[in-house]
A and B are shown apart, each in its own frame.
Chain A
Amino acid sequence: MAFDKSEVEKIAHLARLQLSDSEADEVTVRIGDILRLIDQMQSVNTDAVEPLAHPLDVVQRLREDEITEKDQREELQTLAPNCRDGLYLVPKVLE
C-alpha cells in the first residue's frame, strides 16, 4: 500500500498533531518501515478466521445505574491548565 508524505500530513491532522516539513519527511520514512513490518500479516490467509478483539471471552458486566461518586468538581478542576468560575477555558471558538 502506497504511503507518502501527503498521507502523513492527513493522519497527523486527524490525530491533531503538528509536524514541521522536515519532521513529516522523517515520519514518512519511519512509518513506511513500520507498515512494511505490519504487512507481513498479509502473508497468511485469514478468510475463514474469526477476529479476536479481546483475550477474555466474557460479556460486559453491568451495574445498577446509581450515583456512586461524590462531587469532586473543584478538586478535579485544580488540574486544569485554565479554569474560571467552574468552567474550562479554551481559545475563542465563536466570534
Chain B
Amino acid sequence: MIEKTVAELSVALASGDISSVELTQAYLNRIAELNTELNAFITVCDESALDQARAADAARANGEAGALLGIPMAHKDIFCTQGISTTCGSRMLQNFVSPYDATVVKRFKAAGAVTLGKTNMDEFAMGSSNENSFFGPVRNPWDTNRVPGGSSGGSAAAVAAGLCAMATGTDTGGSIRQPAAFCGITGFKPSYGRVSRWGMIAFASSLDQAGTLCQSAEDAALMMNVMAGLDSKDSTSIDRDVEDYTATLDDSLDGLKIGIPRQHFAQGLNAEVEQAIRDALREYEKLGATIKEIDLPNNHLSVSAYYVVAPAEASANLSRYDGVRYGYRCENPLDLEDMYKRSRSEGFGDEVKRRIMVGTYALSAGYYDAYYRKAQKIRRLIKNDFNAAFEEVDIIVGPTSPHTAFKLGAKSDPVAMYLEDIYTIAANLAGLPAISIPGGMVNGLPIGLHLVGNDFAEAKVLNIAHQFQQQTGWHRRKPSAFTQEG
C-alpha cells in the first residue's frame, strides 16, 4: 500500500480494500522504523493521527466521500498547526505551539486528510540542502550520504521513502522543486496568490508560496483542488475561480509548443543531466509537442536579484522574533537591548543571521536604490522575459537543478549554495506556476524536469506533467533501500 499514489489509495479507501486507520498505522510504523535514519520528521503525531483516521473511517461509513478523505499526509513544519508544535526548523520556535491552524492545514483537515506529523526543513526555509535545520540534516533516501535538497527536504524525503502519501511544502526560490528533483518525486509550486499564505510562517512575503510534494502530477492536482482558493485572511490571495485541476489532466498535448531556454542548457549544467533532459524532451515530441529554443536573457541575474529581495523581506519579517511575546528568550538578560540581541543571536542559526544582515544592509540608508530598487527593476526585466517567451510558447521546460543530489557537507560556502537555485528562482520572482517531475536517472540518482507555465496556468502545467507520467515510468522509481511491498 505504501507504494501507491494518493489517487490509488483514494480508490482503495473508497472501495473498502483498506481503512484509513490501517493505512495510517502502516505509515506510522514506517516512520517509527525509518525516521531515525532519515530525520524527515521533527514531530510525529501518533495519537491525533489515529483519531483523525478513525473519524475519516466513520465519516465514510456515514456516506461521506472525497478524494483525500482518510489519506495520511505530512505538513512542512512552517505551517501552523493548532496544538502541535511548529518550529520552522529553528531553536527560536523550538517550544512554539500555535494557537491556530494555517488555512492550508484547515483545508486539508476539512477534506478529511490525516496529519501524521511535521517535516524537517532548513531553518525559516533558508537553504537548499536541509543542512540548516536546528534539528539536524535530513538524509536523501536514494543515498543517505547525500542531501535531500531544501528547504522542504523533510517533506521530499518523507514522500520518497514512503513515510507519508503526500506532503505540503513552501517554495520561495525553489524550496519545493529542488528537493523534489533530488528525491525523485513530483513537486509543484502554484502561482503566487493561488494558495493562502495565512498561518504559513513568513520568510519573503512577495515570493513565498505553498505547494505540494507527492508522487505524481495527478496527486498534485488532487491536493491543489483542496488547497487553492481565495482566503480573506491573506490579502495577497487571489480572487479568481478555482478550476478542477484533475479535469484537464488527460488533455492531448498534440500541437503543444515547448520552449527550452538556451540559458538553462549553458555552462554549469552537468552533461549527463543535460542528456537525460534532452531524452525527456523527446518523449514530449512523441506526444505531439514541438520544441523551440527561446531566450530568457536576464535569467542569470535572478539569483543576484533574489538575494536582495528575499533577505530584505526576511529582515523585516523576522524582526518579530524579539523574545517578548513568544519564541526563545535568552537567560538573565541585563537590559532590554541585551535581551533582544542575545535572544535573536542564540535563537537563530548562522544562515538566518547572515540573511537578516544582508537584508538590513540592502535596506539601510544610502543603499536602498543601489540594492533593493535595483533588484525590483531586475525583477521586472525577468518578468518581461517570461511575458515575451509566453507569446511564442505554451510552457518552458528545462532542468530543475544543474546536477543530482550532492553529499552532505559538500557546499559550505553560502554563495555556492545560493547558485543551486539558478533555474528555479526566476519563477518565484515572476510569480509563475512551476513543477519538478522525475525526468530520468543519472548514476542511480533521480533528476528533475522543470516546467514553468504562464500566470495561473496551474491546470495546463499539471496536464503537461501528467501526460509525461502517462508516457514514462520515472515517477514510479523508488529508492531500493526504502522500498517495501505492502
A79–B325 contact, CB under 8 A? yes
Residues of chain B lying within 8 A (CB to CB) of residue A54: 206, 236
Q: Could you tell me the distance in whole angstroms from the C-beta of B277 to the nearest C-beta in chain A?
A: 25
B380 within 8 A of A: yes
Q: Are the CB atoms of B329 and A82 closer together than 8 Å?
A: yes
Task: Give the shortest distance, in Å, between A72 (CB) and chain B (any CB).
Answer: 6
Are the C-beta atoms of B380 and A18 separated by less than 8 Å? no
B354 within 8 A of A: yes
Chain A min CB distance to B209 (Å): 9
Is there an interface contact between B193 and A15, defined as CB atoms closer than 8 Å? no
Are B381 and A49 in touch, CB under 8 angstroms? yes
Residues of chain B from 290 to 305 with CB closer than 8 A to chain A in the complex: 298, 300-301, 303-305
Contact A56/B361 with A15-B356, A41-B378, A81-B329 known, Cβ cut-off 8 Å? no
Count of chain B residues near A, Cβ 8 A = 73
- Contact of A80 with B325 at beta-carbon distance under 8 Å, contacts A27-B357, A54-B206 already known: yes
Closest-by-CB residue of A relative to B428 is: A55
Cα distance A58–B345 in the bound complex, in angstroms: 37
Complex contact A44–B298 (CB within 8 A): yes
Is the Cβ of B239 less than 8 Å from the Cβ of A50? no
Residues on the B chain within 8 Å of A93, using CB:
335-336
Task: Say yes or no: A51 contacts B307, CB within 8 Å.
Answer: no
CB distance from A26 to the nearest CB of B (A): 9
Q: Determine whether B315 belongs to the interface, using a CB cutoff of 8 Å to chain A.
A: yes
Q: Complex: how many Å from CA A54 to CA B206? A: 6
Query: Is there a chain A Cβ closer than 8 Å to B444's Cβ?
Result: no
A67 at the interface (CB under 8 A from B): no
Inter-chain contact B99/A33, CB cutoff 8 Å: no
B31 in the interface, Cβ–Cβ < 8 Å? no
Q: How far is the CA of A36 from the CA of B319 in the complex (A)?
A: 25
Residues from chain B with a CB closer than 8 A to the CB of A31 are 354, 357-358, 361
Residues of chain A lying within 8 A (CB to CB) of residue B418: 34, 37
Partner among B96, B239, B344 whose Cβ is within 8 Å of the Cβ of A16: B344
Interface pair A38/B304, CB less than 8 Å apart:
yes
When the two chains form their complex, are residues A41 and B381 in contact, meaning their CB atoms are under 8 A apart? no
Closest to B96 in A: A79
If the complex has contacts A37-B418, A38-B307, A44-B381, are A58 and B238 also in contact, measured as CB distance less than 8 A?
A: yes
Chain A: interface size category: 35 or more
- The secondary structure that dominates the A interface is loop
* Residue among A34, A51, A82 with max Cβ neighbours from chain B (10 Å): A34
Interface string of B93-125 (1 = CB under 8 A from A): 000110100000000000000000000000000
- Note all chain A residues with C-beta closer than 8 A to B61: none
The reply on A61 being an interface residue by CB < 8 A is: yes
Closest to A62 in B: B235
Which stretch from B147-155, B220-228, B369-377, B472-480 is at the chain A interface?
Answer: B369-377
Chain A residues with CB below 8 A from B357, complex form? 8, 11-12, 15, 17, 27, 31
CB of B342 within 8 Å of the partner chain? yes
| Residues of chain A from 67 to 92 with CB closer than 8 A to chain B in the complex | 72, 75-76, 79-82, 88, 90-92
Q: Are A17 and B361 in contact (CB under 8 A)?
A: no
CB of A88 within 8 A of CB of B324, answer: yes
CB distance from B135 to the nearest CB of A (A): 20
Nearest-CB residue, chain B, relative to A58? B238
Binary CB contact string for chain A from 1 to 44 against chain B (1 if under 8 A, 0 otherwise): 10000011001101111110000000100110111111111111
Contact residues, B373-406 vs A (CB, 8 A)? 373-381, 383
Can you show 9 pairs from A to B with CB atoms below 8 A apart?
A: A7-B361, A11-B357, A42-B374, A55-B431, A81-B327, A82-B329, A88-B324, A91-B334, A91-B336
- Other A-B contacts than A33-B413, A35-B361, A80-B324, 4 sampled, CB-CB below 8 A, are A7-B361, A15-B344, A42-B370, A55-B430
- Which residues on A are within 8 Å of B, measured CB to CB? 1, 7-8, 11-12, 14-19, 27, 30-31, 33-44, 46, 49-56, 58, 60-61, 63, 72, 75-76, 79-82, 88, 90-93
